[in-house]
């Protein structure tokens, strides 16, 4: 089996207007690939004539077929995602759109003769391992946490499909599954209605929110990874010579929500921050950590960007690119 080469290859990035997708488009262009990006409701963010953009509905077979036609490699970054409140109140919101999209896209990629398919899964699909970081072999050891049950099994189902296409059928298609921890950084989703915890906290530090209200106890622990580090790990995983490969891409460190706030406030000089914790508001699980051991062993991958540096870069980007309506407050 030959190691895939991006130079001169034809790559499609689904969800090319999203946080992960548009940054991956930039990386693939820099690596010498010919890039196609799929769009749905949002406009393109990488305005480079070298990128071919297609506006398609990936919840249809026709849209998926158009997206992958003639492509060597498929990077599936498109997904319907929301924050903690949506997961708790309407857990199937992440299932209904994603199951057909993932299923149709895998079928279309295989039918089009794609050489390799990369799927971005989720660290939230692991069963509860408490304070011990979850290792790759534990993904199917038990049910996921109840709060993630529906979306976690959607991700697990797609992982099983990837393994099936890679190892259980004739004319297989290589598949890589990347299980990220909490990715953050410039270009993140800062919509206050749907942003994830790190982006939401960074936005409110930039806006000098007073009082600074925090959902939950502030003691929830997460593994944060800066976007540049994550893409380094993702591309290293993509190049592994194996028909099927699943791996965590994470920092391997746990950080409290309260610590994220403290670091962001310190980095940004927010000395008068008045934190108000609200345990009655929705949160997800108290601890979610992933093991970085396999990535270090197989990929030689270790994060390079500290939490302080990552938050500083994100704050700088947000001030230059505030969410609409935040313009005056963010400066």
Provide, rounded to the nearest whole percent, the portion of the chain with pLDDT above 70: 94
The residue that leads in pLDDT, 137 or 280, is: 137
Q: Please compute the mean of the pLDDT values over residues 67-92 and round it to a whole number.
A: 81
Q: In this structure, how many other beta carbons lie within 10 angstroms of the beta carbon of residue 277?
A: 16
**Do residues 184 and 250 lie in contact, with contact meaning Cβ atoms separated by under 8 Å?**
no
Is 262 among the domain residues? no
Confidence category of residue 87, pLDDT binned at 50, 70, 90: low
> Is the pLDDT confidence value at 296 over 90?
yes
- Residue 94: per-residue pLDDT: 73
Collect all residues with Cβ–Cβ distance below 8 Å to 30 and sequence separation of at least 6.
none
- Residue 172: per-residue pLDDT: 98
> Is the pLDDT confidence value at 331 over 60?
no
- C-alpha distances in angstroms, 163 versus 106, 140, 243, 250? 11, 13, 8, 22
Confidence category of residue 196, pLDDT binned at 50, 70, 90: confident
Is 259 among the domain residues? no
Q: Identify the domain containing residue 245 by its residue range.
A: 10-184+225-249
- Residue-averaged pLDDT of the chain: 93
Of 181, 261, 266, give the one whose Cα is nearest residue 216.
Answer: 261
Is 275 among the domain residues? no
3-class SS at 174? strand
- Do strands 174-180 and 244-249 pair parallel, antiparallel, or not at all (unpaired)? parallel
Q: How much is the pTM?
A: 0.94
Is 303 among the domain residues? no
Q: Please compute the mean of the pLDDT values over residues 202-208 and round it to a whole number.
A: 96
Confidence category of residue 140, pLDDT binned at 50, 70, 90: very high
Confidence category of residue 194, pLDDT binned at 50, 70, 90: confident
Is 271 among the domain residues? no
The CATH number of residue 80's host domain is 3.40.50.720
3-class SS at 178? strand
Give the residue carrying structure tokens 């992982």.
159
pLDDT tens digits, 56-75: 999 999 999 999 999 999 99
> Is the pLDDT confidence value at 281 over 80?
no
- Do strands 174-180 and 224-226 pair parallel, antiparallel, or not at all (unpaired)? unpaired
Q: Please compute the mean of the pLDDT values over residues 248-257 and round it to a whole number.
A: 97
User: For the CA atoms of the chain, what is the radius of gyration?
Assistant: 19
- Residue 57: per-residue pLDDT: 97
Cα(180)–Cα(13) distance, integer angstroms: 17
Is 280 among the domain residues? no
Q: Please compute the mean of the pLDDT values over residues 234-247 and round it to a whole number.
A: 98
> Is the pLDDT confidence value at 330 over 60?
no
Cα(152)–Cα(322) distance, integer angstroms: 31
- C-alpha distances in angstroms, 205 versus 128, 259, 268? 31, 13, 8
Confidence category of residue 85, pLDDT binned at 50, 70, 90: low
pLDDT tens digits, 257-276: 999 999 999 999 999 999 99
3-class SS at 20? helix
Q: Please compute the mean of the pLDDT values over residues 310-323 and round it to a whole number.
A: 96
Collect all residues with Cβ–Cβ distance below 8 Å to 206 and sequence separation of at least 6.
268, 315, 318, 319, 322, 326, 329, 330
**Do residues 183 and 227 lie in contact, with contact meaning Cβ atoms separated by under 8 Å?**
yes
Confidence category of residue 328, pLDDT binned at 50, 70, 90: low
Is 273 among the domain residues? no
- Residue 258: per-residue pLDDT: 95
> Which of 71-75, 84-88, 118-122, 175-179 bottoms out in mean pLDDT, i.e. has the lowest?
84-88
Is 61 among the domain residues? yes
> Is the pLDDT confidence value at 226 over 70?
yes
pLDDT tens digits, 4-37: 889 999 999 999 999 999 999 999 999 999 999 9
What one-character-per-residue DSSP string does 251-278 give?
A: ----EEHHHHHHHHHHHHT-TT--EEEE
- Residue 173: per-residue pLDDT: 98
Number of domains in the chain: 1
- Residue 225: per-residue pLDDT: 98
């Amino acid at each position: 089996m030959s190691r895939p080469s991006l130079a001169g290859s034809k790559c499609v990035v689904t969800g090319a207007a999203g946080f992960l997708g548009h940054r991956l488009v930039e990386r693939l262009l820099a690596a010498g690939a010919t890039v196609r990006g799929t769009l749905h409701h949002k406009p393109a963010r990488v305005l480079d004539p070298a990128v071919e953009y297609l506006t398609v509905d990936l919840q249809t077979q026709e849209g998926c077929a158009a997206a992958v036609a003639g492509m060597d490699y498929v990077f599936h970054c498109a997904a319907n995602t929301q924050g903690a409140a949506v997961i708790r109140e309407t857990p199937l919101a992440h299932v209904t759109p994603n199951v057909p999209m993932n299923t149709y896209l895998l079928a279309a990629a295989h039918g089009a003769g794609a050489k390799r398919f990369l799927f971005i899964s989720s660290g939230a699909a692991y069963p509860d391992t408490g304070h011990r970081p979850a290792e790759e072999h534990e993904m199917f050891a038990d049910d996921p946490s109840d709060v993630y049950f529906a979306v976690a099994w959607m991700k697990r189902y797609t992982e099983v499909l990837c393994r099936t296409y890679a190892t259980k059928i004739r004319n297989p298609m290589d598949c890589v599954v990347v299980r990220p921890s909490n990715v953050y950084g410039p270009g993140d989703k800062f919509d206050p209605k749907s942003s994830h915890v790190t982006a939401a906290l960074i936005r409110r530090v930039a806006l000098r929110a007073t009082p600074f209200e925090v959902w939950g106890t502030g003691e929830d622990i997460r593994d944060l990874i800066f976007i540049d580090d994550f893409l380094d790990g993702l591309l290293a995983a993509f190049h592994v010579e194996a028909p099927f490969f699943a791996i965590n891409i994470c920092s391997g460190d746990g950080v409290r929500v309260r610590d994220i706030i403290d670091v962001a406030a310190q980095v940004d000089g927010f000395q008068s921050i008045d934190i108000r914790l609200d345990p009655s508001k929705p949160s997800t699980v108290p601890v979610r950590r992933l093991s970085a051991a396999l990535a270090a062993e197989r990929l030689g991958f270790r994060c390079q960007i500290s939490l302080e540096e990552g938050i500083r870069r994100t704050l700088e980007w947000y001030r230059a690119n505030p969410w609409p309506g935040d313009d005056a407050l963010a400066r």
